[in-house]
Amino acid sequence: MFYGEHEHSIDEKGRLIIPSKFREAVKENYVERFFVTRGLDTCLFVFTEDEWKKQEAKFRALSFTSAQARQFNRLYFSGACEVTCDKQGRILVPDYLKEFAKIKRDVMVVGVSSRMEIWAKEGWEEFYKNTKDTFEKTAEQIFNNQEESDE
């Protein structure tokens, strides 16, 4: 549903406009609410309500006796907030999430299939610079491992 890289800014009130291509997909799929939370690699994850419920079910299934599972769930769910788009297609990004992702003003909104990610522009540029050259090697490793587990 969400694809591509889109450069945007967060305004002085903490609002971020959802890229127009994403708003079109949201409208076509009757999405009304999003859940924003701490993501991995110092970005924010943005899920539709349906996708959030799927993720929540997966993480709820983790054993609460595992210290790692408890730690992850605490940070992941305590950071979550529910947001809706205003008439201009903007969402409000809370200060604590902007702080987590080191977001000041300029951001990249990245589509990652079932979720959006919000990155500080500098963070996305650094991530891309550090990973673009290993893209093919990473793909080879992931898909070779997948084929082995399918056998």
How far apart are the C-alpha atoms of 49 and 36, rounded to whole Å? 10
Count of alpha carbons within 13 Å of 145, Cβ hemisphere only? 6
What is the domain count for the chain? 1
pTM for this entry: 0.92
The domain that holds 106 is classified in CATH as 3.40.1550.20
Residue 146 lies in a domain: no
* 83 part of a folded domain: yes
The two tokens of residue 115 are 């979720």
pLDDT computed for residue 151 by the predictor: 65
Q: 3-state class of 103 per DSSP?
A: coil
**Domain of 114?**
2-120
Say if 132 falls within a structural domain: no
Domain presence at residue 131: no
Digit-by-digit pLDDT tens for the chain (151 residues) are 999 999 999 999 999 999 999 999 988 888 889 999 999 999 999 999 999 999 999 998 999 899 999 999 999 999 999 999 999 999 999 999 999 999 999 999 999 999 999 999 999 999 999 999 999 999 899 888 777 777 6
94 class by beta-carbon count within 10 Å (0-12 exposed, 13-18 middle, 19+ buried): middle
